[in-house]
A and B are shown apart, each in its own frame.
Chain A
Amino acid sequence: MTLTARDKQLRGQSRWGTAALGLVTWLVAALFFFPVFWMVLNSFKTELVANTKPVLLFEPTLDRWEAAIDSIPGLLSFSEAFFNSFLIVIVSTVLVLVLAIPAAYALSIYPIKAWRDALFFFISTKFLPIVAAILPLWIMAKELGLLNTHLVLIILYTAMNLPLAVWMLRSFFGEVPRELIEAAQMDGTGLYGQIKDVMLPIVAPGVAATALLCFIFAWNEFFLAVQLNPVEGSTVPVWVSTNVTTRGNFMAKLSAASTLAVLPVVIAGWIAQKKMIRGLSMGAVK
Chain B
Amino acid sequence: MTAQAEPTGSPDPGAERAAKIAEFQRRDKWRRRLPLLPALLFIIVVTQIPFIFNIWYSLQDWRIVPPRGPDFVGLENYTEGYTNQFFLQSVGISITMTTAAVLLSLLVGTALALLLDRQFLGRGIARTLLITPFLIMPVVAGLLWKNQIFSSTFGVLNAIIEAFGLDAIPFVERYPFWAIVTVLVWQWSPFMMLIILAGLQGQPTDILEAARVDRASSRGIFTQITLPMLRPYMELGIVLGAIYLLQVFDHIEVMTGGGPGSTNVPYFVYQRSIGGGWDFGQAAAYSTIVVIASIIIATFALRVLSSLFQRQEPV
Contacts and interface: CB of A to CB of B under 8 A. Distances in A.
A112 to B, nearest CB: 6
Interface string B275-315: 10000100110111011001100110010000011110010
Contacts of B11: none
A240 B139 contact: yes
B274 A135 contact: yes
A110 B314 contact: yes
Contact of B236 (A21, A166, A285): A285
A281 interface: yes
Interface in B53-69: 53-54, 57
Q: Is the interface of B mostly helix, strand, loop or mixed?
A: helix
Interface in A251-276: 251, 254-255, 258, 261-262, 265-266, 268-270, 273, 276
A159 B46 contact: yes
Contacts of A164: 240
Contact of B265 (A4, A129, A140): A129
A42 interface: yes
A122 interface: yes
Q: Is the interface of A mostly helix, strand, loop or mixed?
A: helix
Point out which of A102, A241, A255, A273 has the most chain B C-beta atoms below 10 A from its C-beta.
A273
B236 A111 contact: no
Interface residues of B, number: 108
Contacts of A103: 35-36, 38-40
Contacts of A58: none
B273 A133 contact: no
Interface in B18-42: 29, 32-36, 38-40, 42
B233 to A, nearest CB: 5
A281 B232 CA distance: 11
B117 interface: yes
Nearest to B250: A222
Nearest to B295: A124
B120 interface: yes
A136 B53 contact: yes
Given A159-B47, A254-B143, A136 B266 contact: no
Interface in B221-245: 232-233, 236, 240, 243-244
Contacts of A128: 47, 50-51, 54, 287, 290-291
B287 A25 contact: no
A186 interface: no
A38 B139 contact: no
A273 B127 contact: yes
Given A39-B144, A216-B135, A240-B139, A1 B43 contact: no
B273 A135 contact: yes
A99 B53 contact: no
Given A3-B119, A33-B130, A219-B137, 14 more contacts: A25-B116, A112-B36, A128-B50, A128-B54, A133-B50, A135-B274, A140-B49, A140-B50, A237-B137, A266-B132, A269-B132, A281-B201, A285-B198, A285-B232
